[in-house]
Amino acid sequence: MSANQPTQPELPPTTAIDKPSNYAFEDWFAYPVRVYPHHTDCAGIVWHGNYLTWMEEARVECLRSIGIDYTNLVALGCDLAVVNISLHYHRSLMLGMDVLVKTRMTDVTGVRMNWDYAIVSTDGQQLYTTAKVTLVALDRERGKIMRQLPAAFKDALLKISTLHNN
């Protein structure tokens, strides 16, 4: 690979024998999900778009857990737009399963935020999906990327980055 080519984000290994116990998910925010019929196709397998929905729900709940209510963020004129996503399906989720969507913010650079995700079994023994998402803060009124994050949002994000760096 030449020095000019962009590199792909690194995700955990993808072999079917990998177990989430090989990764340190203990300090990640956990969002429980149950697979209902409307999440699946006629074979009872989760439709791929639902993973993105669950990841967004987990991210919104993670932010809420540190005092950032998404409704208040929108009231400040800020939205978080996905600008990059990398998703790997390790094994299928099926109707009736209970899983945890694990997430954490890995870093904030200016108005850009990077998040990691792992969807794992509730007992932590199976890894179903891994992902990386990059968001930018968007000025809702102008539809353009903000120059800086709203102060209250930036202060709350410091809490989450401090938690993950200790």
- What does the pLDDT look like over 25-84, one tens digit per residue? 678 999 999 999 999 999 999 999 999 999 999 999 999 998 889 998 898 899 999 999
Write down the catalytic residue from 18, 27, 41, 139.
Answer: 41
Mean pLDDT, the chain, integer = 84
| Phi, psi torsion values for 70, nearest 5 degrees | -60, -35
Averaged over 7-23, what is the pLDDT?
45
Q: pLDDT tier at 3 (50, 70, 90 boundaries)?
A: low
Which of residues 154 and 125 earns the better pLDDT score?
A: 125
- What is the pLDDT, as a whole number, of residue 14? 41
Residues 6+ apart with CB under 8 A from 31: 54, 57, 58, 61, 62, 100, 101, 102, 103
With 60 as the cut, is the pLDDT of residue 94 above it? yes
Q: Is the pLDDT of residue 2 over 60?
A: no
The pTM assigned to this predicted structure is 0.80
**Between these two residues, 153 and 95, which has the higher pLDDT value?**
95
Q: Is the pLDDT of residue 164 over 60?
A: no
Using an 8 Å Cβ cutoff, are 51 and 88 in contact?
no
Alpha carbon separation from 112 to 6, 21, 30, 36, 79 (Å, rounded): 18, 30, 22, 33, 12
- pLDDT value of position 27: 82
Query: Is 155 annotated in the active site?
Result: no
The contacts of residue 4 (CB under 8 Å, 6+ apart) are: none
